[in-house]
Structure 1
Amino acid sequence: MNKVLAIARAEFVQAVMSKAFIIGLFVMPLLMGGSILFQKFMGDRVDLTPRKLAVYDPTGEFWPTLKAAAETRNEFGIWKQLEEASPEASAGEASAASRKQARPEFLLERYEPAGDERPDVVLSERVKSKDLQGFVLIDPSILTDEPSERPLAYHTNEPTFTELPSWIEEVVNSDVRARRFEEADIDEALATRLSRRVPLSTWGLAKAEADGSVKEAEKKSDLQTFAIPFAALMLLFMLVMTTAPQLMNQVLEEKMQRISEVLVSSVTPFQLMLGKLVGSVAISSTLALVYLGGVFWSTHHWGVSHFVPLQSYAWFVLMMLFALLMYGSLFGALGSACSELRDAQSLMAPAMIMIMIPIFSISAIIESPNGSVATAMTYFPTATPMIFLLRLLAPPGPPAWEYLAAPAMCLVTTVILLWASSKIFRVGVLSQGQAPTFRKLIGWVVSK
């Protein structure tokens, strides 16, 4: 055991004292914070080029409405309010100083076809020449409710800009709706008030206490329901990806440089593998300690610590240890079986699929954390730590029996993978010049 701890300590010290570890320690917070700042920065960087639109309205009924709505929007709806202007500033200067343009202008023109020309063909050419952002064709059937293939059609070669067609649809439909109410002799304001939606909020369950009092239900938050389970899974995934593939590369590098042959002259292959594995677990645990400490401080600082109870930290650490031992032993064994980098890359793809299974199933499990799919996937051996952690943090949590069954599954899987990996490592670490195959790896596992 002393030899295992000595190897683990050497691996740990070498890793944590490196500049790469110190830099990597702050990479995730910087990436997360940087992404938020970048989104905020990009949110204010909008293309303010005016969007020119041609309107073909053979009815003549909707053009005045669209033109007036565009003028109102350009005057009042595309500006962001800033600080108050100084009292000494003139009216024009005060208006310019107190607002900033946030959205592009919509410039509308009415199109009237000349002779027998087709509006869609003529206007399409103008769009191609960048004279127009697009054009809208209004079918006369829109006033009669007769079936039509294209009662309101927006044409453009830049369909990714959705603000303009959404605005057109809203303005035209508001006008059509007002006309329908008028024809039916119904007060639109009254109908709008009577059809106003009632907002729905999600709450937990009330509970009767032993002393006769009632514990009121708490309002559910998206932070507790979605953000925390998702963030916990992604943190666990990041910790696994930080050390497991690195362990594979390290074992392969030592084997290619014949360092492993020197090491196994002093320790057994199992001790060497276990020492490296314990060292990688210690490295990830150090990262987890820093990140979980940051989460603990942040939740208490912002008053949302009740969303992350203390037992959640304990379950995260337990599932993290199982995941690191599982994937670390698997990747370490694969690294020992390879003699070249390209062989390792070919074996790494199936192993990566096993890690990615929980990531692929996030939405399905959060939507129904105790459904048959989520329960079945929990007991897919290598996915148990990540999926059970996700279900554990997604309300209402798994049934009571799974609090024993899932850790037992993790323990059994970890023991089997450690045993199989040690068999592969024992043979593979000393084999040279042999391209590994899955058939060969299975043969090493079952060999005596």
Structure 2
Amino acid sequence: MNTKFSKLSFTIAVSATMIASASVASPTVVSFSDATATSVRDSFVADNAIDKNQNTHWEADARGASIIARFSSCQRVDDLVLNWYGTNKYTYSVQLSKDDGATWTTAVSDTSGKGNKNKQNVTDQAANAIKIVGDIDSRLRIDELKINSLGSTNGCTSSSTSNSSDGQSSGNAQYPADVLDLSKWKITLPISLNSPPNSNKATEIKQPQLKTYTNSEYFRLNAAKNGVLLKAIAGGARTSKNTAYARSELREMQGDGTESAAWSCTNTDHGMYLEQTLLHTSTNKPEATIAQIHDSKNDLMMVKYFGPSFANGSTDIGKLEARFNNDTTKKLLDSTYKIGDPMTIDIAVTSSGNVNVTYKNLRSGVTSSTDTVKLTGIIGSCYFKAGVYIQACSKTDIYGNTNTVCVNKDLSANKYETDPYAYAEIELRKINLR
């Protein structure tokens, strides 16, 4: 694709408001602690956008990418002024967080910028992190990010300095296993570490290697270090020659984490609790599986997201369904799920072979339960899976090989992803087995 980049200089200025004594607060410049991005081109890393050096820049390597910058302290953010250079048109949104990126509030939505300055008026609000999200047709480039503040405030919470309810600290986290209890899991990633790479041999990381394993693209900490980002791509390495789709997915294990879990589907009380956020999907087929119960052959239960036609992948409103027994039973969980909404999912299996899925959208407040569904057609033993299993594929994968299973699906032209790096991504903040 021939994409012309323009120089983007990004400035956020905060307008003064009157304080109780009727004097005007003097804006101060916010200092940053770090920056991360969902996509980076070559050596143009995210930190370049906050290094106070206009000779360096962050540059995305994909359309629809986003960048997050965290403040050194909680600040009162108000009006936004974006300085754009050049003639390219960017469509973007700006989101603010007061809990280090655990949840986000949209401050500027669906706004286009083209040269000069775009000034956006927002309500004076507390924040300790900012996220700039490019539209699916925009590939962003930022020289410098500057934020002026009306002053510090105590209206934020810093989840990076607290402990999670299961006792795992995220303040000094270096690896995903520092945030999530992965002692009973292995990870499958959409890349092949074989030489030469094998498109049908995805990478697997088990314990004890998983304790200190991270991948900067597909399995990494979020900016707040209180969650783990899992990313799967349409042209990624797959688990076998019979599979069309790639995954960045956790698979339940047992013992010391090196042996596959295999519990009786009809004689075990077992459960999995997830706290997570779907952050992005592919656009031509915006579907992703984000939780599963599997046996030796069947998809006994899947929680799946289905996006709208003409999806942008980052701000869509779609639906979440729980699907049982190879899609023969479907239960609606959320008819208006918006990408970026944090959620909880609790999956409970009883010794009689019944399963119930309980769901809550932590932004909208939508709650639902599938009630009891009987598992049928079981072959072998069961296990849980979590993460993201992208339901989109490209005819040619990232290694230049033909994905024959994808081709044989005979999908209509607008259902294939022409870009093998088209992706789905989820942020997983908690995973508990019981």
TM-score tier after normalising by the smaller chain length:
under 0.3
Structure with bigger helix share is 1
Structure with bigger strand share is 2
The normalised TM-score by structure 2 is 0.19
